[in-house]
Amino acid sequence: MRPLAEYEQLTNDELKARIAAVRAEAGDRLVVMAHYYAPDEIVETADVLGDSLALAKKAAESSAEAVLFCGVYFMLETADILLNRPEKIAERGGKRALVMAPDLTAGCPMADMITAEQAENWKRELSEVVDFSDFTPITYVNSSAATKAFCGANGGGVCTSANAEKIVRWAFERRPKLLFMPDSRLGRATALALGVAPEEIVVWKAGEPLGGLDVETVRAARVILWDGCCPIHQRFSVDAIRKIRAEEPNAQVWVHPESPFEVTDAADGYGSTTKLIDVVEKAAPGTTLAIGTEWKLVDRLRRRRPELKIVWPGDEPSICVDMSKSTLARAAWVLENWLAGEPVNVVETPPEIADAAFEALRVVL
């Protein structure tokens, strides 16, 4: 195996040339995918750019033998699950497609806020005071394969920030109550948008007896949210929005639904990363927009549309350091080792987890 240190000595131009050489030799055996929050030089190198579920679906549609996925761990698990369904492996004559990460330590702090064991404990504690079969568990796609498997095994599903309303509506058609994990912000915004009364939505605090709630509150709740959040999207503030409105009265403020409750309430609109990109791309020249999502993406949008005024609804840049772990040096290292027949950083989900997680993912396919 070629050592990573060798690649860390090279310039960006040398690394880009090495990556291009691998791609020329591999042809359609290889796909390079990048999430919108990846660094610019990786975005420029990718064949496909998108949000997490769209990328996983595109990976599953491709006939490539290998995918270099420049994102965070849960995204690679999802791509692996979709790409390596038993029927797809059979079509490839028994061969798994490889899903490879530039850096296996690139995780998502929000996804890590709930484990499958915590989800099972949540079910057990709730079952002592309510009928658990009244609840459909829904997990945001930003969760581990094991958390998705918990939802799949309990008749639930997966949602994205783009389709959360549709999936929560589906959940309510099946059962009267909802568990939503791990992002309490997205869960609350979605439940409110569907007309659930604020007093019927409660937050379950992990580690506290009965989630820090009393029995009557739990019994009366229609929506119980896990107390998770994205630390990156917590950095937007109502004060910053007020300041923007004072200085730029015509500014339109758009934020990601992972933002704090009060920020989503104070904004003119909220939406998935894809929706926020669409808002910027469709804005008329001269428009002032405040866009609250990951800094690298907003900075790229600002450079792409210099005729707009794009301001920042926070006090400091909110950079997802895990998304920044996809570097050219690591991409070149993974790709050259793969081409040499010594793949590194391969993500492989155990079949029993993959099968139950697929049941939950089915809802959004």
| Interface contacts to ligand SF4, rule CB under 6 A | 37, 72, 108-110, 142, 230-233, 294, 320, 322-323
Residue in the structure block whose two tokens are 């910053």: 240
- The nearest distance, CB 14 to ligand SF4, in angstroms, is 29
Nearer to ligand SF4, 322 or 336 (CB): 322
Both structure tokens of 217? 């509150």
Query: Which 3 state secondary structure label does DSSP give 102?
Result: coil
Of 56 and 218, the one with the shorter C-beta distance to ligand SF4 is 56
Task: Choose between 232 and 253: whose C-beta lies nearer to ligand SF4.
Answer: 232
**Shortest Cβ distance from residue 16 to ligand SF4 (Å)?**
25
Between residues 196 and 320, which has the closer beta carbon with respect to ligand SF4? 320
Residues 6 or more apart in contact with residue 9 via CB below 8 angstroms: none
Rg of the chain over all Cα atoms, to the nearest angstrom: 21
Query: Letter for the amino acid at 72?
Result: V
Q: Which is nearer to ligand SF4, 105 or 133 (CB)?
A: 105
Q: Give yes or no for a contact between 317 and 329, defined as CB atoms under 8 angstroms apart.
A: no
CB of 256 to ligand SF4, least distance (A): 9
CB of 201 closer than 8 Å to CB of 184: no
Determine the angle formed by the axes of helices 351-361 and 145-153, rounding to 10 degrees: 70
Left (φ > 0), alpha (ψ -120 to 50) or beta: where does 195 sit? Answer: left
Q: What is the largest CA-CA distance in the chain?
A: 64
Cα(360)–Cα(365) distance, integer angstroms: 10
Distance of closest approach, residue 152 Cβ to ligand SF4, in angstroms: 21
In this complex, which beta carbon is closest to ligand SF4, that of residue 251 or of residue 357? 357
* Residue placing its CB nearer to ligand SF4 in the complex, 18 or 235: 235
Minimum distance from residue 277 beta carbon to ligand SF4 (Å): 15
CA-to-CA separations, 275 to 26, 51, 291, in angstroms, rounded: 34, 11, 11
Q: Give the span between the Cα atoms of 316 and 300, in whole angstroms.
A: 16
Query: What is the nearest approach in angstroms of ligand SF4 to the Cβ of residue 141?
Result: 10
What is the nearest approach in angstroms of ligand SF4 to the Cβ of residue 349?
A: 18
